């Protein structure tokens, strides 16, 4: 008689020590420009990146001081979604630029 089909070789595997695949994290980087108002950048940081007003102000300060600032660290897919939303919000209104860089 054949082996019991309800019993599979996979049932004997212990998967508890196996690493799981995880999407890489990316930084959403905002770039300073002389035309985009700070209020618009604050809006992006609060509404699209989930920062409090205080956190957003600190990021805007870093942006204006250093020329760029990390707005958020997100899984890669979410970073691309946020970047698209930011581009859509700025399109036709401001020359605002944001980019994504892989976290190593």
Q: Which residue has the tokens 């970073």?
A: 79
Asked whether residue 61 is domain-assigned, the answer is yes
pLDDT tens for residues 34-80?
999 999 999 999 999 999 999 999 999 999 999 999 999 999 999 99
Asked whether residue 13 is domain-assigned, the answer is no
* Confidence (pLDDT) at 15: 60
* Confidence (pLDDT) at 82: 97
Say how far apart CA 61 and CA 78 lie, in whole Å.
25
Say how far apart CA 22 and CA 41 lie, in whole Å.
30
Structure tokens at 27: 């930084």
Beta pairing, strands 68-75 & 97-102: unpaired
Domain residue limits at 63: 33-102
- What's the mean per-residue pLDDT of the chain? 88
**How many folded domains does the chain comprise?**
1
The CATH number given to whatever domain includes residue 96 is 3.30.1390
- Model confidence at 4, in pLDDT bands (50, 70, 90)? low
Q: What is the pTM of this model?
A: 0.77
* Confidence (pLDDT) at 24: 81
């Amino acid at each position: 008689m054949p082996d019991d089909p309800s019993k599979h070789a996979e049932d004997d595997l212990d998967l508890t020590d196996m690493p799981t695949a995880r999407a890489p994290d990316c930084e959403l980087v905002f770039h300073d420009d002389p035309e985009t108002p700070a209020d618009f950048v604050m809006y992006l940081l609060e509404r699209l990146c989930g920062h409090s007003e205080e956190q957003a102000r600190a990021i805007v300060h870093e942006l204006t001081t250093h020329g760029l600032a990390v707005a958020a660290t997100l899984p890669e897919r979410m970073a691309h979604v946020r970047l698209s939303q930011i581009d859509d919000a700025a399109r036709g209104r401001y020359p605002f630029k944001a980019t994504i860089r892989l976290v190593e």
